[in-house]
Chain A
Amino acid sequence: GSKLGRLFDHPLYNIQSPAPGPQETLLQEEDLVQHYRKKVSHWERRIKLYSKAAAISNITVTEHEVTFDPGASWLKFHLGINRYALYSREDAAVPQLLEDMQGMTVISADYTQDEKALKGACDCTQVVKPSGHHLKLALKMRNYAKAMFKPMRQQRDTETPEDVFYFVDFQRHNAEIAAFHLDRILDFRRVPPVAGRLVNITGEVFQVAHNEELRAVFFTSPANNSCFFAKCLYVCKTEYAVCGGPDLLEGSLSAYLPSLSIAPRISIPNPWIRSYTFTGREEWEVNPFYCDNIKKMYPYNSGDRLLNIIDMSIFDFLTSNMDRHHYEIFTKFGDEGFLLHLDNARGFGKHSLDEMSILAPLSQCCMIKRSTLLRLRLLARPEFRLSDVMRESLEGDSLRPILTEPHLSALDRRLQKVLRTVQRCVRRLGEDEVILKDFAESTRSPASAA
């Protein structure tokens, strides 16, 4: 039968967390619905104005109506966010949201906020391009669900060339999709839902774009394909356009989190950040006792913040994502909240190389959550082998296969390396020092685990 199904049936995946109290859920339903209503009426007003202007200047824009739907899957997803995770295991809203993102009519396409924040400034001398420069778009669905669209830049079997630095690497749409599935299999549930979709870039992007600047980056290639490009990267001649064939283009759609106005987040630098230069090295790369300093520093000196960082480093090591410079948390939950694993598009670039430095938080701090370790051990067993359950989980995406076999088997190999790192720590410091009961688990009754 299904390995994935058996995995989710396993007792480890059926520990009931306590029902979140009112202060432990991110949003209140009334607030959100009111916010939604306001947005929709605002949108309708704006579209009316826009279509008048478009009629005058002879621009053809496909018009779609927004349908207000209080039962929309994205709404449920937002309401389900609590202190422990982005969604619960049995939440029906998530599969529904994935389906919606795959099939629902797109009513609008625009630049993302971080792109707009740059106000069109292009500095071609920058070695590390700000994230707003990268090619991604915000798409709005008929029921006002929003998703970030990252187009396909690379074939699935292309590996990142060996000379490429982590901050230069391509953004991969399949890495975004795979990261969501891996995160769910690890039971972290800290990545917003991502679905693959074949997007018609003429009908579903160009013709619903109301932004003149965005419309200007679309063109037809010599091979008669529809293409568009990231303005700055194109102007600086660092990147060429992405093209459909002739109109259809693969891409990943990742669900938006609640807007910052109703659920503010803060972005915190990763203590194990890289230098983002050609030569520079950070302290953690040269000092093996770096973690001792971190342990004494707020907010890593209490709660399970540091353990969460280590979870994140294990997740990044498995996907081989070196580009984790910041992590985000919801301000409402303060230091007790979980870490969001956003922006995973730079993972899965090389299947033949395991970048051990990503695992530095684990190998330097020598501590890990007991729940995480148990799950990792489970996923190393043949009956729940990580690559098998990943393959099965990714089968559910419309763009399958998402990962090539070498990437899947790399997951198993890397998982072994994580477990070996833990073993080495245990041998040195003893199990009690290394394997820690985490805060979230301590509130659960151990009886329900059986």
Chain B
Amino acid sequence: MKMILLRKFRVLILMVFLVACSMHIMVDLLPKLERRGGGGGGGGCSCSHAPSEEPRGWGKQVRANKHPLRILQDFSSEPGSNVSSHSLERVPGAADRAHAPRRLEHLGPRGDRKRQIAQDAAAAAAAADARLQGSRLAALYEHPLYRRSLPPLTDEDTLFNVNADIRFDPKAAEERAWTNQGTAEEVSPAGGPADESYPNWLRFHIGINRYELYSRHNPVIDALLKDLVTQKITSVAMKSGGTQLKLIMTFQNYGQALFKPMKQTREQETPPDFFYFSDFERHNAEIAAFHLDKVLDFRRVPPVAGRLVNMTKEIRDVTQDKKLWRTFFISPANNVCFYGECSYYCSTEHALCGKPDQLEGSLAAFLPDLALAKRKTWRNPWRRSYHKRKKAEWEVDPDYCEEVKQTPPYDSGTRLLNVIDMTILNFLRGNMDRHHYETFEKFGNETVIIHLDNGRGFGKHSHDEISILVPLSQCCRVRKSTHLRLQLLAKEEYKLSVLVAESMARDRLTPVLIQPHLDAMDRRLRLVLNTLSECIEKEGHSYVVEDDLQGRHGADRGHSAPRRR
């Protein structure tokens, strides 16, 4: 209790610090406030002047920091600044601390409860839907395997303790006036709308935790997908790094997304002579990866939606990138085309042309800025050689997994099982290009891995690349929950391809995948299950299938360390 009082009291000091605009008034005020705060907790005090004074405070911060928009998310239009460590430095530390606790006051305790309620409501609605429309997807989510809840989340398990998010862009705050709303709600005991008035992308970021990028029935994700398709694009920049052309789009609500343009038609297959590293990135593969990941209940792919973009109004006219702008031209057929600047396929021969200026593409929601939520990039132990003639170690050593199992972080915890999950996802999509994966640094080694960059899946429907499955066939280990879900999705009434197709039907660019690709997923799923049953036959069920369904407490996560032979 004392601690809370002490905190509130600090809030007040710092609030007034901002409110007061002029130095000497603040100096005058400080001792009085101290006395008042010590006296009675002064809860309502800040409200009286906050609404009117706050904008000036914000304004001050804007001036202090030349790039307010980049605070939460850096979109690196300058080449080489993918990692936006500098944006962190620009944020005045004092200002952060000043604002943070106030937001915590009305958000912190409520977040989890609210989500629980939303989840329950959504689940109920989905169930009702299922009964009404015979939706297979809704029926799937009714299945007990898809109703397991997460272990209780502590502050350590969520990416943001909400207070950190106060650094959310101040300019947007002024325009959307959610601060005013928020302060009005502060007094109300229900206090719901304050965080609902956050833009959806921010709510997506707040929802990220140790076990998932988003929760199963999260209305925010649906809203975010809708935002990706409907929000006005205010600026466009080319993404530096990476090999193929990607654009970073900024929306009216300051959300950002990664745009991958359509390069191939849906019927085109990757030519057999292409290496995995020379394949094109496909926009529909990005969309399909998100839906497949969701149907598999991994929820480790950030939301992706398809969008028809007007190349003139939504790219050329809003970009400040001269290099990008310069590559626009009109084709002999009078279509608008551009090719951008990148190391792979950015030339006139591979220009992207609209019809006459409508271009299909995928928009993947950004993860939180690296300055706020650092990510670790890990080399995939089963990385390919990326060389025309050389082979990787795992391709020649059948006992490669034994080595991996003894190497941190794969020697304990759930990391290896996560890699296996990823392997299965990659195999179902035929994605050979998984050289690295990422985790959030905050969660250490005990967290799921994020599946980014899925554009090279779904290239060949007539070919199953068995080598993608090597981690599974070499290690012979899998999560029980994953195994059960895979078995479920192999059943006729929960057929994977039908579920994924239903999930994707809501996308603007439907049909996202042609039927042969969907059929290939079912075929590959059977191959995964075959590999698993061979493993079980060879090694025994208890060795292969790691029971993650029981006794899942925060503390004994370590028990799932793979046993060594």
Contact = CB atoms under 8 A, between A and B. Distances in A.
Contacts of B278: 237, 240
A239 B274 contact: no
A222 interface: yes
Contact of B349 (A162, A219, A227, A239): A239
Interface stretch (B22-30, B199-207, B291-299, B338-346): B338-346
A222 B331 contact: no
Interface string B342-366: 0111111111010000000000000
B329 interface: yes
A352 interface: no
Interface stretch (A163-171, A296-304, A339-347): A163-171
Interface in B150-196: none
B332 A163 contact: yes
A222 B459 CA distance: 14
A236 B347 contact: yes
A219 B389 contact: yes
B275 A163 contact: no
Contact of B351 (A163, A166, A222, A225): A163
B337 A168 contact: no
Contact of A163 (B273, B274, B353): B353
Contact of A162 (B271, B331, B348): B331
Given A165-B331, A219-B389, A279-B329, A238 B347 contact: yes
A240 B278 CA distance: 8
A241 interface: yes
A237 B347 contact: yes
A104 interface: no
B277 to A, nearest CB: 11
Contacts of B345: 237-238
Interface residues of B, number: 26
Interface in B511-565: none
Contacts of B335: 162-163
A124 interface: yes
Contact of B347 (A124, A225, A240): A124
B389 A279 contact: no
B273 A223 contact: yes
B273 A221 contact: yes
B273 A227 contact: yes
A435 interface: no
B344 A164 contact: no
A241 B278 CA distance: 10
A84 to B, nearest CB: 37
Contacts of B344: 237
B273 A164 contact: no
Interface string A215-254: 0000111110101000000001111110100000000000
B349 A241 contact: no
Contacts of A240: 271, 273-274, 278
A162 B333 contact: yes
Interface string A133-165: 000000000000000000000000000001111
B272 A223 contact: yes
Contacts of B276: 222
B332 A162 contact: yes
A191 to B, nearest CB: 26
A165 B332 contact: yes
B348 A219 contact: no
Contact of A279 (B273, B330, B333): B330
Nearest to B333: A162
Interface residues of A, number: 24
A164 B347 contact: no
A350 to B, nearest CB: 10
B491 interface: no
Nearest to B276: A222
Interface in B248-291: 271-276, 278
B352 to A, nearest CB: 9
A127 B339 CA distance: 11
B274 to A, nearest CB: 7
B335 to A, nearest CB: 5
A222 B274 contact: yes
Nearest to A170: B349
Contacts of B388: 219-220
B331 A163 contact: yes
Contacts of A163: 331-333, 335, 337, 351, 353
A206 B446 CA distance: 52
A279 B353 CA distance: 16
A163 B339 CA distance: 12
A243 B273 contact: yes
A164 B349 CA distance: 8
Given A162-B331, A279-B329, A221 B349 contact: no
B337 A225 contact: no
Nearest to A128: B348
B348 A221 contact: no
Interface string B421-457: 0000000000000000000000000000000000000
A223 B463 CA distance: 11
A164 B331 contact: yes
A221 B348 CA distance: 25
A277 to B, nearest CB: 9
Contact of A278 (B274, B329, B333, B389): B329
A124 B341 CA distance: 10
Nearest to B329: A278
B327 to A, nearest CB: 9
B349 A168 contact: yes
A279 B327 CA distance: 12
A236 B278 CA distance: 12
A278 B272 CA distance: 33
B346 A237 contact: yes
A164 B337 CA distance: 10
B349 A225 contact: no
A127 B350 CA distance: 11
Contacts of A164: 331-332
Interface string A396-432: 0000000000000000000000000000000000000
A381 B331 CA distance: 37
Contacts of A225: 272-273
Nearest to A165: B332
A279 B348 CA distance: 13
A225 B272 CA distance: 9
A127 B346 CA distance: 11
Given A163-B351, A168-B348, A168-B349, A241 B333 contact: no
A415 to B, nearest CB: 23
A320 to B, nearest CB: 13
A447 B278 CA distance: 65
Contacts of B337: 163
A358 to B, nearest CB: 13
Contacts of A127: 348
Contacts of B333: 162-163
Given A127-B348, A279-B330, A222 B353 contact: no
A279 B328 CA distance: 11
Contacts of A162: 331-333, 335
A241 B273 contact: yes
Interface of B: 271-276, 278, 329-333, 335, 337, 343-351, 353, 388-389
7 contacts: A163-B351, A165-B331, A168-B348, A219-B389, A220-B388, A220-B389, A239-B349
What are the 7 A-B residue pairs with the smallest beta carbon separation, nearest first? Answer: A163-B331, A162-B333, A221-B273, A223-B272, A278-B329, A163-B353, A243-B273
Given A163-B332, A163-B351, A163-B353, 17 more contacts: A124-B347, A162-B333, A163-B333, A164-B331, A165-B332, A165-B348, A168-B348, A168-B349, A219-B389, A221-B272, A221-B275, A223-B273, A237-B343, A237-B345, A238-B349, A241-B273, A278-B330
